[in-house]
Amino acid sequence: MEPRPDCGEESYEGHGRLKGKCAVITGADSGIGRAVAIAYAREGADVLISYLSEHEDAEDTATYVEKAGRRAVLVSGDISSPQHCRDIVAKAVEEFGRIDVLVNNAAYQMTRETLEDVPDEEWDHTIATNLSAMFHLCKAALPHMGEGSSIIGSSSVNSDNPNPTLAPYAATKAAIANLTASLAQMLGERGIRVNSVAPGPIWTPLIPSTMEPDKVEQFGSNTPLGRPGQPVELAPVYVLLASDEGSYVSGARVAVTGGRPIL
Bigger pLDDT: 183 or 211? 183
CA pseudo-torsion sign 111, 115, 119, 124? positive
Instruction: Work out the burial of residue 59: count CB atoms within 10 Å of its CB; fewer than 13 is exposed, 13-18 middle, 19 or more buried.
Output: middle
pLDDT per position as a tens digit, 117-159: 999 999 999 999 999 999 999 999 999 999 999 999 999 999 9
What mean pLDDT comes out for the span 194-209?
Answer: 84
User: How are strands ordered across the β-sheet holding 22-26?
Assistant: 72-76, 46-51, 22-26, 101-104, 150-154, 193-199, 253-256
Whole-prediction pTM? 0.94
Instruction: Work out the burial of residue 91: count CB atoms within 10 Å of its CB; fewer than 13 is exposed, 13-18 middle, 19 or more buried.
Output: middle
Bigger pLDDT: 211 or 84? 84
Inform me whether the pLDDT recorded for 205 exceeds 80.
no
Position 106 scores a pLDDT of: 97
pLDDT per position as a tens digit, 2-13: 678 899 999 999
CATH class, range 22-256: alpha beta
Inform me whether the pLDDT recorded for 66 exceeds 60.
yes
Q: Which residues are catalytic?
A: 169
CA distance 225 to 216: 17
* φ and ψ of 154, to 5 deg: -95, 105
Q: How far is CA 66 from the centre of its chain?
A: 20
